[in-house]
Amino acid sequence: MRTERLELRLPTEAELQELAALAEEGVHPPDEMPFRVAWTDGIGTPEFRDDFSEFHRAARRNWVPESWNLVLGVWENGVPVGTQSIDAVDFAERRTAETGSWLGERFQGRGIGTEMRRAILTLLFDGLGGEIATSGYIEGNERSRHVSDKLGYVVSGEGTVAPRGTPVREIQLALDRAAWHAVERPPVEIIDLAPCLPLFGAESVPGR
């Protein structure tokens, strides 16, 4: 996918190493943990880069139409800036998927997080015929909340997660197809999606 500034695609093995190196430069302040899984706590250990790459490999290796996790690298003018993911279970029946992402600290605060989330939501709603996008943010993660607010998500509930062993509140969000299409948005180019639709359980896309 391509937006005004960004390219989103599957990383090569060499690019996975570049993305891991970017994460090692910093994703968030050490005293904060904005993710459900505290994967960034592995930064600085000898196995971090191998574990990082294996997560991406496993997402591809374990892919089936009934349960998939698309984890895309994101580049700005050829420079890696982070990753953007979308995952779903029983997408053919539920037409619902959840997004997740991270962005290197030195690229934050420039609207890139919003732009890459908008790209993956365009894939969900316009490319795959999705009906609902879900997301969430740990209480206090204002950057994530701000991105979701700008894109039109609404609060759908709350729960508890414990990425570092201590329970913390997570705000759960949802965005439906009608709300997505109620707002005019900059275009996103999606290249060669049609042959891939069966992999997502999306052989038939509404409106196509």
pLDDT of residue 204: 58
Amino acid present at 184: E
Q: How many CA atoms lie within 13 A of 23 on its CB side?
A: 26
pLDDT of residue 205: 58
pLDDT of residue 187: 95
pLDDT of residue 155: 97
pLDDT of residue 140: 87
Q: What is the pLDDT of residues 77-91, one digit of tens each?
A: 999 999 999 999 999
pTM of the model: 0.95
Q: Which residues in the chain land under pLDDT 70?
A: 204-208
Structural domains in the chain, CATH included, are 6-188 (3.40.630.30)
Number of other CB atoms surrounding residue 176 within 10 Å? 17
